[in-house]
Amino acid sequence: MQKLMVLGLVLGLSAVAVAQVSSNGPVVADYGKNIQSSDAAEAKIAKEVRHELLMIPYYSLFDDLQYTVQGRDVALGGAVTSEHAFLKNQAGNVVQHIEGVDKVTNDIRILPPSPLDDQVREQVYHAIAQTGGLSKYFWEAAPSIHIIVENQRVTLSGFVLNEGDKNMAGIAANGVPGIFGVTNNLRVVK
């Protein structure tokens, strides 16, 4: 049985990040508009989950919603700020009501409130947006770069168009004073 894994939400880009995972093979990603899967129902559910999560109001660049679909089961992951803690329940509710979904596992983490982390989020956002041509990743209503900060540790997630943009975003984030480290989980979508 294959597992359809959506590696995160492609926010602001027209492509959908989909990977097919077999139990005895490597992950093979398809970043095209057409989701290809041996199970059309699973692909349809993945497309609906992505759509519903993107439609949630107040989902911001400081939140990161991720999901995987296996058969008729959806697992939610990622992290949301304490200010947007309601997104965890809202995401679970909208996904549960998608036709064909049997089970939703909601493992979205709520980040602890921290004025220091809030300050770091803003500083990292400005540092990235003011670097080279990276501001384009924040123009859409649903930005393609997400900045997660917990205990002054920064994680960048989402999608960029090339390896250079990924590296520039990491360097810009690392240049922000007062952070304890940057994990660059940005994926390149061609």
**Would you kindly state where each structural domain of the chain is located, as residue ranges?**
3-110, 115-188
Average pLDDT over residues 69-95: 96
The pLDDT assigned to 102 comes to 94
Of 32-41, 121-130, 131-140, 144-153, which range is least confident?
A: 32-41
Do 186 and 158 touch, CB atoms closer than 8 A? yes
Binned at pLDDT 50, 70 and 90, residue 76 comes out as very high
**Taking 70 as the threshold, does the pLDDT of residue 22 lie above it?**
no
The pLDDT assigned to 65 comes to 95
**Taking 90 as the threshold, does the pLDDT of residue 34 lie above it?**
no
How far apart CA 149 and CA 17 sit, in angstroms, is 23
Average pLDDT over residues 139-157: 94
CA atoms within 13 A on the CB side of 133: 5
Average pLDDT over residues 85-101: 96
The pLDDT assigned to 36 comes to 45
- The H-or-E segment that residue 110 falls in is strand 109-110
**Taking 90 as the threshold, does the pLDDT of residue 126 lie above it?**
yes
Average per-residue pLDDT for the chain: 83
**Taking 60 as the threshold, does the pLDDT of residue 105 lie above it?**
yes
Which residue's entry shows tokens 């240049």? 175
> Rounded to two decimals, what is the model's pTM?
0.78
3-state secondary structure of 47: helix
Which CATH number is 115-188 given? 3.30.300.130
Average pLDDT over residues 83-110: 96
Provide the β-strand partners of residue 126. Answer: none
The pLDDT assigned to 29 comes to 30
Output the CA angle 16-20-23, nearest 5 degrees: 155
**Taking 70 as the threshold, does the pLDDT of residue 12 lie above it?**
no
